[in-house]
Amino acid sequence: MSRDQKFFDMYSLVIGVLAAIALGIFVLVMKVSDLTQGVYTRDTHEYQAAVAERIRPVGRVYLPGEEHEAEAPVVAAAEEPEPVAAAMSGPQVYNSACLACHGAGIGGAPILGDAGQWAPRIEQGIDVLTQHAIQGYTGSVGYMPPKGGRMDLSDDEIAGAVDYMVAESQ
């Protein structure tokens, strides 16, 4: 009989704890509900207008002989094109796109300011360097992705960055 009593006591304890947890959750939910539902009450004008707007009929039927006013035409404003961002300067392009590789020499990229690394490239001419920067280049030393991986940059912005790097590395 004592085993049954122990089981009954333990069962009652577990049920009591679960009931207390459920009651606590219920009280918490009611409190949160009161705090958040105070924004919309059914008696306010805003609430009533929102409900009326949601349930209004899509159209109306007029019987012959009934008069109605036509709604005023709605004129939609033409969308203005997005302003074109100003072109970035050579140093800005370098700092946003080129610095990752040319700052540390990643992938065989010549480091900005290292005249020894830049000299053979500068000898090829600025046009060749600009073409390699725009179109990409794979050489024996390393790899240059087209536009440094930033396809959103214009050719003129890339050319400005090349001019800046050459000027800083001579």
Is residue 95 assigned to a domain?
A: yes
| Axis-axis angle for helices 155-168, 126-135 (nearest 10) | 130
Is residue 79 assigned to a domain?
A: no
The pLDDT value given to residue 39: 60
The answer to whether the CB of 162 falls within 8 A of the CB of 130 is yes
Predicted confidence (pLDDT) per residue in 72-125, tens digit: 777 777 777 766 667 788 888 888 888 888 888 888 888 888 888 888 888 888
The pLDDT value given to residue 73: 75
Q: Do residues 48 and 111 share a domain?
A: no
Predicted confidence (pLDDT) per residue in 127-170, tens digit: 988 988 898 888 777 788 898 888 888 889 889 888 988 888 87
The pLDDT value given to residue 38: 62
The answer to whether the CB of 133 falls within 8 A of the CB of 161 is yes
Pick 139 or 31 by higher pLDDT.
31
The answer to whether the CB of 67 falls within 8 A of the CB of 134 is no
The total of other beta-carbon atoms located within 10 Å of residue 26's CB is 10
Burial (Cβ within 10 Å: 0-12, 13-18, ≥19) of residue 133: buried
The total of other beta-carbon atoms located within 10 Å of residue 164's CB is 19
Rounded to whole angstroms, the Cα distance separating 111 from 84 reads 32
The range of the structural domain enclosing residue 113 comes to 90-168
How confident is the model over 57-82, as a mean pLDDT? 76
Rounded to whole angstroms, the Cα distance separating 62 from 19 reads 60
Is residue 64 assigned to a domain?
A: no
pTM reported for the whole predicted model: 0.50
Q: Do residues 94 and 151 share a domain?
A: yes
Is residue 19 assigned to a domain?
A: yes
Is residue 33 assigned to a domain?
A: yes
Is residue 82 assigned to a domain?
A: no
Count of structural domains within the chain:
2
How confident is the model over 7-25, as a mean pLDDT? 96
